[in-house]
Structure 1
Amino acid sequence: MKVSQLIALTYKKSEAKVFTLLLLAGILFASCEKVVDIDLKDSEPKLVIEAEVNDLDTNHVVRISKTIPFTETNRFNSLSGAQVVLSTPGGQKITFTETEKGVYKSPKFAGVPGTRYVLDVNVEGKVYTASSTMPLAVKLDSLGFRKLSFFGEEVIVPLAYYKDPKEAKNQYLFRIKAKDEEVQESLTEDRFTNGNNVTETLFTDLDELAEGDSLEVEMRGLDLPVYKYYFAIAQISGEGGPPVAPSNPNSNFNNGALGIFSAHTIFTLKAVVKLK
């Protein structure tokens, strides 16, 4: 699920919670006196900015949209006409160009690990600013697979092998694709593995993963605010266990914008599922 969809889901869950409370109150009072008509008003649209810069030589992308009313079907409510500028510590300014409605792309360049980037988005007469520091790169050494038993059923799970640097606190996001489809994301940090050789079990919903299937794992190195943002979304959506009470994750943008600006590293490995 894309970040914009999760943001919309989070925003709608907050409205749904209010609606449920009002509905219950209406039912309670109706049992005492008469039927109460509930008028659920849609909240004012909020600006959503999804921005990424990585260490690959590519066109980096910023997506700008607005949240949609509770009563509408989830979609990308794109917003045109923004001015998007990325700044580096050396004073370089990189301007993003709108290539389609609500989608802004930079010229090709590779972000530099260890660099703090600042993104300014000027839209509808207001400037929204966020910063993110790209961590030092950590590479995947290899991928492996093992069988695990869950409630009497055996499933194949992917394993990611890498060396966690001892000198810094590290946070990672794994994107797992099987059979050419992105199926799940997995978050982890080095609180208990700092400086170790790590074997990361990537728990997914791949119940039908079988020997001979193709698999791709993308490992992203995140700075701490970005990790906390994705962790909050995982909790709200129930991916990290039972869902928590809906609330907007803490964005690193100012002026009330939703979304996140992430400067991260990327390392990708592909493998064919094979058990030893």
Structure 2
Amino acid sequence: MKNIRYILLFLTAMLLTSCEEVVDVDLDTAAPRLVVEASIDWVKGTAGNRQIIKLTTTTGYYSTEIPKVSGATVFITNSSNTVFDFIEQEAGTGEYKCEYFAPVLGETYVLTVINGDQTYTATETMTAVPDITYTTQANDGGFLGEDVEIRYYWNDFPDQSNYYLSRFDAAVIPTPEYDVGSDEFFEGNEMFEFFSDEDLKPGDTISIKLYGISERYHDYMNILLAAAGGGGNPFQSVPTAATGNLINQTNESNYALGYFRVCEVSALQVTVQ
């Protein structure tokens, strides 16, 4: 019996030791793809002339750095063939800036990115957004009634289909929180979105942005948010790949990731009472 006890102790120790071992898994790394962050946002009350486009590439799973793309040619044209050049003012940053962009509601814009021997294009129309009309605060929000909840409201444009993106920034969350929606059941009526957190306290500020977006961008963001675990049905199917609206005119199979969006934005800051 004593020998059996020693054997069991030995096996248990071996199992515990095995559980503590770090296992490195060799993962195949696909060829890098261009990633385009081209969010042309026109905040109400501003000129909207200063815009930025960021270019990076995909990298290995264990990589701690995101490769920047330098030396590309980046520009946007409108329906009048006016060209807005985006220049990488600081080499190596992958950030391409334009100081004279001209946002016009309803205007169609074409983005062109030339990286090496590959040319990518995307087309989008600048979408209007309603004004945020007012906000409310409740101190019994959330599932358990323990959160501070901030709601903001707007009046949906009537007689058309509208799609919206909401963004919330606050010190109590490490990254911005996003949500997308449409006026499918609320066309022409008052709509609202909300942000709640149990750690909000008086004096905290919340930055709120409401974007008018296209239907395609709405669907794209839905896929991204589902993949990131941003709510939805827990039994939903695995989301499909979000490839965005960028087309490689040189080699269609070598598509870029990211999206070219052109939005009007209604923005405000709320202080928790």
Q: Report the TM-score when normalising by structure 2.
A: 0.79
Q: In the alignment, which residue of structure 1 is the partner of 2:77?
A: 87
The reply on whether 1:130 has 2:128 as its aligned counterpart is: no
The reply on whether 1:196 has 2:189 as its aligned counterpart is: yes
| SS of equivalent to 1:233 | helix
Alpha-carbon distance between aligned partners in 1 of 2:172 and 2:98, rounded to the nearest angstrom? 27
Question: How many corresponding residue pairs?
Answer: 235
| SS of equivalent to 1:162 | strand
Larger Rg: 2
| SS of equivalent to 1:84 | strand
| SS of equivalent to 2:88 | strand
Task: Quote how far apart the aligned CAs of 1:153 are.
Answer: 4.4
- Uncovered stretches (5+) of structure 1, i.e. residues with no partner: 1-36
- For 1:109-188, what aligned pairs fall within 5 Å after superposition? 109-150=101-142, 152-179=144-171, 183-188=176-181
| SS of equivalent to 2:223 | helix
Higher mean Cα deviation, 111-120 or 53-62? Answer: 53-62
Partners of 2:223 and 2:239 within 8 A in 1: no
- For 1:53-68, what aligned pairs fall within 5 Å after superposition? 53-55=40-42, 56-57=46-47, 58-68=49-59
The reply on whether 1:104 has 2:104 as its aligned counterpart is: no
Alpha-carbon distance between aligned partners in 1 of 2:143 and 2:221, rounded to the nearest angstrom? 29
Q: In the alignment, which residue of structure 1 is the partner of 2:229?
A: 238
Off by >6 Å, runs of 4+ in structure 1:
none
Paired letter, 1:48: V
The reply on whether 1:76 has 2:66 as its aligned counterpart is: yes
Q: Percent same amino acid at aligned positions? A: 28
- Structure richer in helix, relative to its length: 1
The match for 1:225 among 216, 223, 229 is 216
Task: Quote how far apart the aligned CAs of 1:76 are.
Answer: 2.7
Task: Quote how far apart the aligned CAs of 1:67 are.
Answer: 0.2
Evaluate the alpha carbon distance shift between residue 118 and residue 139 of structure 1 in structure 2; reply closer, same or farther with a 3 A threshold.
same
Paired letter, 2:221: Y
Task: Quote how far apart the aligned CAs of 1:269 are.
Answer: 1.4
Question: Cα deviation per residue 1:11-49 (whole Å; 9 max; x = unaligned)?
Answer: xxxxxxxxxxxxxxxxxxxxxxxxxx9753211111111
Paired letter, 1:170: N
Question: Cα deviation per residue 1:79-118 (whole Å; 9 max; x = unaligned)?
Answer: 0011111010111111111023211011233411111111
Task: Quote how far apart the aligned CAs of 1:193 are.
Answer: 1.2
Q: Report the TM-score when normalising by structure 1.
A: 0.78
Partners of 2:105 and 2:126 within 8 A in 1: yes
What is the aligned-residue RMSD (CA, Å)?
2.3
Alpha-carbon distance between aligned partners in 2 of 1:120 and 1:267, rounded to the nearest angstrom? 27
Q: In the alignment, which residue of structure 2 is the partner of 1:261?
A: 260
Paired letter, 1:95: D
Partners of 1:142 and 1:269 within 8 A in 2: no
Paired letter, 1:85: F
| SS of equivalent to 1:77 | coil
Paired letter, 1:173: L
Partners of 2:84 and 2:100 within 8 A in 1: no
The reply on whether 1:51 has 2:38 as its aligned counterpart is: yes
